[in-house]
Amino acid sequence: MTDAIAHLDLRQFRDGGDADRQAFSKALMAGLRRHGFITLEGHLVDEALLADSYRLAADFFALPEETKTAYAGALRGYTPFGVEHAKDHAAPDLKEFWQIGHETGGEHPNRWPGEPAGFRATFLSLFDRLFETGAVLLQAIAIELDLPADYFAPRVEGGTSLLRLLHYPPIPPGVDPDCVRAAAHEDINLITLLVAAEGAGLELLDKDGRWLPVETRRGDLIVDTGDMMARITNGVLPATTHRVVNPTGPNVSRYSMPFFMQPRSDVRLEPIESCGPVQDHPVTTAGEYLNQRLKEIGLPKA
């Protein structure tokens, strides 16, 4: 069995016939079952939007600290450096970030900075394109789980999905040796769509206990499954442990933009019938589960 992370082209599902769509769904499920991660081209985010997004993210995080912290204190907006930590890992991650949810029809209002110019329009567009891409991937997953193709659509529409703009600054001198850019963790949500980062460092823990680098071409997406998906599929689709390690070469900033696709808060995380015997854990709502996990990593409630 190869250790290569599967690379897929979403156009096979979007534009293909029944056989192509079925082949894509099977390859997606196989890749996610093997590593919990795949890489993806042919998605709905164009290169110009990606370039604008990276430029504006860098411009925002270069603003003075007092400007950024004026937008801190909630799950939307700015979270300062050193606030979040991984579950069961006390040392803080070496990162700062900005989070955006649904602008209309969502469960919480967004916050927007006064600068840089074009920030709101650009990242609302990126949010929408990533949400649309995620919706297509969820269709492909649903088909392989013997569900209607639109099974996930009403569950994620207007929910708690988040676009996170991440900045990992250069590692400061004298930092706690237990601190890394992002300590080993699993994502909380259904699926994550990660815009290929500006800078290396992402690694996944494979089933043999080895850390494997996750890399792809600029413009591709990295897709992984989170704890909510693992929960409703009884582990058929795993939430794979991953991390972002500190740089071993030049000590420079790293930027990435994960999109966390999540259900509405009232959606019950119930096991899917086609996924085998039900594991022994209580059924909870997506909102209850999300808030439990946010508390464990030091963030405010959704």
Coil, strand or helix at 290 = helix
The predicted model gives 199-207 an average pLDDT of: 89
Q: Which CATH class is domain 7-296?
A: mainly beta
Q: Which pLDDT value is given to residue 85?
A: 87
Q: What is the mean pLDDT of residues 182-196?
A: 93
Q: For residue 165, what pLDDT is reported?
A: 97
Q: What is the pLDDT of residues 68-109, one digit of tens each?
A: 999 997 789 999 998 988 888 889 999 999 999 999 877 789
Which amino acid, one-letter code, is at 237?
L
DSSP 273: G
Q: What is the mean pLDDT of residues 262-287?
A: 86
Phi and psi based region of residue 54 (left: phi greater than 0; alpha: psi -120 to 50; beta: remaining): alpha
pLDDT of the residue at 279: 64
Strand ranges in 50-190 using DSSP code E only, listed in sequence order: 77-79, 96-100, 162-168, 182-185
How much is the pLDDT for 69?
96
Q: Which residue has the tokens 């890992």?
A: 89
Among candidate residues 44, 54, 46, the one with its CA nearest the CA of residue 11:
44
Is 262's pLDDT higher than 90?
yes
Residue 229's pLDDT band (cuts 50, 70, 90): very high
Residues 102 and 273: their CA atoms lie apart, in Å, by: 30
| Per-residue model confidence as pLDDT tens digits over 155-184 | 999 999 999 999 999 998 988 988 999 999
* Gyration radius of the chain over CA positions: 18
The strand pairing partners of 193, in sequence order, are 223, 259
pTM: 0.94
Per-residue pLDDT at 1: 39
For the chain, report the end-to-end CA distance as a whole number of angstroms.
Answer: 40
Tell me how crowded residue 277 is: count the other CB atoms within 10 A of its CB.
7
Handedness of CA 77, 79, 80, 81 (dihedral sign): negative
Answer yes or no: are the C-beta atoms of 111 and 69 closer than 8 Å: no
**For residues 1-19, average pLDDT:** 90
CB 173 within 8 A of CB 207: no
Enumerate the domain spans of the chain.
7-296
Q: In which band, very low, low, confident or very high, does the pLDDT at 278 lie, cut at 50, 70 and 90?
A: low
Q: What is the mean pLDDT of residues 121-147?
A: 98
Residue 61 phi/psi, 5° resolution?
-70, -15
Q: What pLDDT is stored for residue 174 in this prediction?
A: 87
Which residues lie across from 168 on neighbouring strands?
A: 254
Whole-number percent of the chain with pLDDT over 90: 77
